A and B are shown apart, each in its own frame.
Chain A
Amino acid sequence: MAPDDGHLAGEGASSDEQIDDPWEDLKSTPLSFSGTTGEFFQIWLANLALVVATCGFYAPWARVRSRQYFFAQTRLGGTGFEYRVNPRALLLGWFVIGIGLSLIGTFSDLLASAIASAFLPMGRRQWLVILLSLTLGLLLQWLIVSWLLVQSLRYNASRTLFRNLHFGFGSRQEQRSLWREMLRLLALAVLTLPSLGLLWPYFAWRWRRFQIRHRRFGATPFTFTATPADFLRLHLRALPLLVLALGAPAPAIGLLAAYGDQQAWRAPLVLLLLLGIAMAFLFGVVWSCWLEAAAAKLTWRSIRLGDLHFHCTWTAAELLALRLTNTAVLLLSFGLAWPWVRIRTSRYRLERILISPAGALEGFLGGEAEKVSALAEGAFSLEDSLAGVIDISF
């Protein structure tokens, strides 16, 4: 499918006479978020009460209700997003997934002990059973989790609407190739560990590309133009901060190793070590905020949807302030401030995303609305913050 397949030419579709400024259509327009803490607090509390009182059976309804709130409050050019889901289908899906996953755990344990007892003398069994059941469990989980992830992405996308047009993720025919791609992605994610993180920029790029280029709005696919080199550059620029974070406790450790056996030195050195650890933590947070902001900017800049361009203006300093204040307030309020945290985080993240040209919002054609099973939804809570336009939990 050519990138512009479902997209009408910009001028023809949008003949809006009310707009006086001739350049209005070409300007960029931000996402707006009109949710308020008061409203969400009420929804959250009523949800909580009903979920606890029904031993969890209300959970799908609660989830849909709070999601619909966030979607409807997220507006682009005055129009809100829509999340069209039947909670009853979710409940069934959650049951099947819950039972399925616990069965897999038991099954892999049993299978492993059967294999081990058939081939091994008593004494050495214990270790092999543990090893085998771990491997089997991991393999099964790898296969199943990746399938569920794909289905969950597909389901949530197909249930998100804007201007009465469905979003979508892949097609029914592509399910298998999406699954294979997800299997490779998860394997790659695991491989970043033995590579000491060297593979991480490549993985981050692949992961985002996967999330974006299979997505479509109506019949129009999203495209992603960033390259692995872009992501590598990004991570290299963040490297000094990471080195600072990892190196912060080093002087104290070195001094402790040298002078730790002298009583007089010990107390101040331990204090220095604690200081170093605190600094490491702080630099670590700064590093991750910087990376988050820079990666978001790069990602949004690299997305096209028909004639639409995107622009993200998050900054590391603001993300850092947001994160630190959120944590402090959550701790001080014993978690009761959760609705406030959710609302302000969503507002910040959404309102700093610009879309241009504003006039091109009108010209999209719908594709076939898909029926995707609700089975996988809820197995994962992929970040809802971006109202389903693009999941930002890359």
Chain B
Amino acid sequence: MLHSSGTYYDGKTSRGVPVQVMAQGDGRVALRGEGLEREEALADLRLEQPPGHAQPRLHWPDGGMVELADPQLLPLFANRPATQIRGALEWTERHPAGLVAALLLSVASLTGLVVVGLPLLAAGVSAAVPHHLERKLGKTALAELDQTLLQPSQLPPATRQRLQGLLEKIQPLPPSRRSLELHLRRSSLLGANALCLPGGVLVVTDGLVRLASEDELLAVLAHEAGHDHHRHPLQMLVRGQGLALVAGLFGDGGKALKGLGKTLVRNAYSRRFELEADREAVATLRRWNRPPEAFFSILDKMEGKRGATKLPSILLTHPSNQEREARARAGLRSLPP
């Protein structure tokens, strides 16, 4: 006959009574202690085993509880589902193979989420957003930038006309419902630069217009149009939100570490986007019979203004100019002449 000793708490006071718990042959369990004598069907008792090394607890249906001092009675509960789930969990926790499997599973699912899951999700979500809504988002973003980074352009009207002409060359063709709009701004902080906001809202700075030749401006606009064609700004927004959720899975701790991880992943996404947009830039130049070198020369000019960085590429949002040029040339070769 199986029996354990333990301490009984009735759930009405905090007093503990030393007891003996005995399994009887007829599927009933008896409890004996000073001034205590009760019986219950085994099926009505619930066994609770806290994780780790801790005393198992036997819960009575009326709220009483026995803290068991030894594991003698545990085999009685071996075939209950709760015990079996716990057994599986503990096996994973106790065995090196289980731990290695857990570690591999974490790394694999994390990589899968970041490399495949989030981009797929972002592509799906951004394809579902109607263009006018996206445009609204872009306008709001521009309004915010106007309060902070950007000032009104000082370019003469003639230059604006010329840029509008260039824009017409890269407007998406009829089957597409999308369109681009160009905004000229001056910015001391951004220098010579161009931005693509959601919904085809393009921003070009005065600095860039002064720096670039006609072909180079076409290349830059085509690059930004490429971002819009692939809906990169919106995708980036969704991927960023997804990343925050993924980081949330790891609990509250390690804020700095999680921030670093998110930045590195976001940079990797961004570099991929830049290469995609570059391909559009050189393809557009080819379409209008302009030399692809115009794109590479403006990249170099912009870097010359900013100064080249020596940081490794995983810390950067844009690939190095060498890599961009090599990838774009490779992309050109795969285009029909």
Contacts and interface: CB of A to CB of B under 8 A. Distances in A.
Q: Do A and B bind each other?
A: yes
Interface of A: 8, 13-14, 34-36, 39-40, 42-43, 45-46, 48-53, 55-56, 59, 65-66, 68-69, 71-73, 79-80, 82, 126, 162-165, 217-218, 330-331, 334-335, 338, 361-366, 369, 381
A35 B253 CA distance: 19
A55 B121 CA distance: 13
A46 B12 contact: no
Contact of A72 (B10, B50, B256): B50
A362 B16 contact: yes
Contact of A45 (B14, B103, B109, B245): B103
B53 A52 contact: no
B72 to A, nearest CB: 19
Given A46-B92, A80-B55, A365 B12 contact: yes
B89 interface: yes
Contacts of A35: 52
18 contacts: A34-B53, A40-B52, A42-B94, A49-B109, A52-B106, A56-B248, A71-B50, A72-B50, A79-B67, A80-B54, A164-B10, A165-B11, A217-B14, A218-B13, A330-B253, A362-B14, A366-B12, A381-B252
B110 A42 contact: no
Contact of B249 (A45, A51, A218, A334): A51
A139 B159 CA distance: 48
Given A69-B51, A73-B54, A164-B64, A46 B102 contact: yes
A362 B254 contact: no
For A35, A65, A72, A162, which residue has the most chain B Cβ atoms within 10 angstroms?
A72
Q: Describe A's contact surface by its main secondary structure.
A: helix
For B55, B57, B113, B249, which residue has the most chain A Cβ atoms within 10 angstroms?
B249
Nearest to B146: A126
A48 B106 contact: yes
Contacts of B103: 45, 49
A66 B52 CA distance: 10
B85 to A, nearest CB: 10
Nearest to B110: A52
B257 interface: yes
Contacts of B93: 39, 42-43, 45-46
A80 B110 contact: no
Contacts of B253: 330, 335, 338
B98 interface: yes
B15 interface: yes
Interface string B96-121: 00110111011001100100000000
A68 B16 contact: no
A165 B52 contact: no
A99 B226 CA distance: 34
B105 A366 contact: no
A48 B250 CA distance: 7
B298 to A, nearest CB: 33
Given A164-B64, A338-B254, A43 B13 contact: no
Nearest to A361: B14
Contacts of B92: 46
A164 B63 CA distance: 8
Given A59-B249, A69-B51, A49 B106 contact: yes
Given A80-B50, A126-B143, 12 more contacts: A35-B52, A39-B53, A45-B103, A49-B106, A52-B106, A55-B249, A65-B51, A79-B16, A80-B67, A163-B16, A164-B65, A165-B9
Given A39-B52, A46-B93, A72-B52, A52 B109 contact: yes
Interface in B32-77: 48, 50-55, 57, 63-65, 67
Interface in B241-265: 245, 248-250, 252-254, 256-257
Nearest to B253: A338
Nearest to B12: A366
A42 B52 CA distance: 9
Nearest to A54: B109
B52 A335 contact: no
Contacts of B7: 79
Nearest to A365: B13
For A8, A42, A59, A71, which residue has the most chain B Cβ atoms within 10 angstroms?
A42
Contacts of A71: 50
Contacts of B52: 35-36, 39-40, 43, 69, 72-73
B240 to A, nearest CB: 15
Contact of A165 (B14, B67, B102, B250): B14
B249 A56 contact: yes
Interface in B141-187: 143
B50 A46 contact: no
A363 B13 contact: yes
B51 A43 contact: yes
A27 B55 CA distance: 25
B50 A68 contact: yes
B115 to A, nearest CB: 14
Interface string B1-24: 000000101111111100000000
Given A45-B99, A46-B93, A330-B254, A53 B14 contact: no
A154 B148 CA distance: 45
For B10, B14, B113, which residue has the most chain A Cβ atoms within 10 angstroms?
B14
Contacts of A8: 13
Contacts of B98: 46
B9 A164 contact: yes
Contacts of A165: 9, 11, 13-14
A221 to B, nearest CB: 15
A87 to B, nearest CB: 12
Contact of A163 (B14, B48, B50, B254): B14
A364 B14 contact: yes
